[in-house]
């Protein structure tokens, strides 16, 4: 839920943002250039002090989709219990967005996970590595053009037999 | 040669004696990664009491174990760890693959889950089930005990390759080659 006056303030500040609502949840699509600035403004001016999650959606082959990736920031105001979803669309070939670790320390691992699964690059991240998969993994498995069963990475190991062990 | 033995003396082979000792004091290495591990714990706990079969001493260092129980799915990041633990266990050693995931990957047919640990390490017993009940694991251990009694030797001959064993084969076993 979000208070109407909070939303009005946000829309007055960022008029290009497309605001919509679904089942009581407010989400706003913010242009990519303004994303960092808008998140900082939401934190400082409107009191959205908690970054609940960062996740990503791959819209490849999605009906009616105009962009490839949608980065999703879930914000919460712990004082007033307001919540808002900020969505930023990212397209190939430039998959770089500005890291929000300077705003919320907790974004560190979330951005690493999004990088691990989707290959979005977060500029300015202090520790930009994979978090779940092995370092030598060569793909981004949650992209829709990656096969569900992988490309044989799961069976690329040496075999230990009785006479070898 | 008739030697008078007292009634409380039994004559056996040394291999038989060693196998009998081994099978009744298995020290399992619990490689529990998922819900099968809960059943493994239940098997070791008081109700099912694995101590009845001499296999209750779970050790968390592979150097003290001779039976690896892989309970749960193994992902590609975990497989090198599994192989390393297996190599660190001293001979003689055995492996039980517990549950559908360890044996075949189960329902997790995805890019990161290994489709059966027997692709990468040797397995002696497979336990079906998702997860198997403690009774099934106990049955597997009983079957493994039979296997140890039947096959184990002091020289470790059972771990050699078949062509190096040099077991004399009966004529009837050989394939008949038609000219």
Pick B160 or A127 by higher pLDDT. Answer: A127
pLDDT at B44 over 70: yes
B136 close to A (CB below 8 A): no
Tell how far CA A131 is from the center of its chain: 15
CA A60 to chain B, closest CA, distance in angstroms equals 19
Mean pLDDT throughout B157-170? 51
Instruction: Report d(CA B76, CA B62) in Å as an integer.
Output: 20
pLDDT at B13: 76
Q: Which domains does chain A carry?
A: 4-155 (3.30.460.80)
CA distance A97 to B169: 71
Could you report the per-residue pLDDT of A67-97, keeping only the tens digit for each? 999 999 999 999 999 999 999 999 988 899 9
In terms of DSSP bridges, do strands A25-29 and A50-58 run parallel, antiparallel, or are they unpaired? Answer: unpaired
Those residues whose C-beta lies under 8 Å from the C-beta of residue A20, and which sit 6 or more positions away, are: A26, A27, A28
Q: What is the pLDDT of residues B55-110, one digit of tens each?
A: 989 999 999 999 999 999 999 999 999 999 999 988 788 999 999 999 999 999 99
pLDDT of B152 higher than 90: no
The verdict on a CB contact (< 8 Å) between B122 and A161 is yes
3-state per-residue secondary structure call for A103-121: CCCCHHHHHHHHHHHHCCE
Strand A96-98 to strand A82-90: parallel, antiparallel, or no bridges (unpaired)? unpaired
Could you give the domains of chain B? 28-152 (3.40.50.12280)
Name the band, by pLDDT with cuts 50, 70 and 90, for residue B178. Answer: low
- Give A156's contacts in chain B (Cβ within 8 Å): 76
In whole angstroms, how far apart are CA A45 and each of A16, A38, A71? 18, 10, 22
Closest-CA distance, B78 to chain A, in angstroms, reads 10
A133 to B119: CB separation less than 8 angstroms, yes or no: no
Q: Which of B80, B114, B122 sits opposite A162 (nearest CB)?
A: B122
Residue A164 pLDDT > 90? no
Buried-state track B95-120, b at ≥16 Cβ within 10 A, e below 16: bbbbbbbbbbbbebebbbbbbbbbeb
Q: Kindly indicate the confidence band of residue B35, based on its pLDDT and cuts at 50, 70 and 90.
A: very high
- Cis? peptide before B92, omega within 30° of 0: yes
Q: Residue A19 and residue A28: Cα distance in Å, rounded? A: 4
Higher pLDDT, A99 or B174: A99
Give yes or no for B159 touching A (CB within 8 A).
yes
- Here the tokens at position B55 are 């296999």
Q: Nearest residue of A to residue B94 by CA position? A: A162
Mutation choice for A interface testing from B109, B111, B112, B115 by most A CBs within 10 A = B111
Task: Using a pLDDT cut of 70, give the percent of chain B over it.
Answer: 83
Task: Kindly tell me if the per-residue pLDDT of B168 is higher than 50.
Answer: no
């Amino acid at each position: 839920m979000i208070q109407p006056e909070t939303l009005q303030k946000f829309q007055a500040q960022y008029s290009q943002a497309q605001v919509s609502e679904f089942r009581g949840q407010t989400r706003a699509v913010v242009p990519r250039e303004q994303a960092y600035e808008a998140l900082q403004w939401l934190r400082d001016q409107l009191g959205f002090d908690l970054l609940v999650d960062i996740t990503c959606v791959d819209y490849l082959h999605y009906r009616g989709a105009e962009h490839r990736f949608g980065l999703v920031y879930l914000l919460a105001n712990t004082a007033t219990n307001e919540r808002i979803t900020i969505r930023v669309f990212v397209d190939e070939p430039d998959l770089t967005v500005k890291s929000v670790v300077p705003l919320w320390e907790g974004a560190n691992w979330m951005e690493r996970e999004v990088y691990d699964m989707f290959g979005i690059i977060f500029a300015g991240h202090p520790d930009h590595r994979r978090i779940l998969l092995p370092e030598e993994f060569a793909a981004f498995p949650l992209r829709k053009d990656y096969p569900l069963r992988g490309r044989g990475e799961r069976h690329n190991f040496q075999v230990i037999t009785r006479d070898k062990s | 040669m008739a030697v008078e033995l007292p009634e409380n003396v039994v004559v056996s082979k040394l291999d038989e004696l060693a196998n009998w000792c081994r099978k009744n004091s298995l020290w399992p290495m619990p490689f529990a990664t998922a819900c099968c591990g809960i059943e493994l714990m239940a098997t070791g706990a008081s109700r099912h009491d694995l101590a009845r079969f001499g296999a209750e001493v779970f050790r968390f260092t592979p150097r003290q174990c001779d039976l690896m129980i892989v309970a749960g799915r193994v992902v590609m990041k975990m497989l090198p760890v599994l192989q390393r633990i297996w190599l660190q266990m001293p001979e003689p050693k055995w492996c039980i693959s517990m549950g559908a995931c360890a044996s075949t990957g189960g329902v997790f047919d995805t890019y990161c889950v290994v489709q059966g640990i027997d692709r990468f390490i040797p397995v002696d017993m497979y336990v079906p089930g998702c997860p198997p009940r403690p009774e099934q694991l106990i049955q597997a251990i009983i079957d493994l005990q039979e296997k140890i009694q039947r096959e184990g030797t002091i020289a470790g001959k059972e771990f050699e390759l078949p062509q190096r064993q040099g077991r004399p084969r009966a004529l009837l076993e050989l394939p008949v080659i038609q000219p």
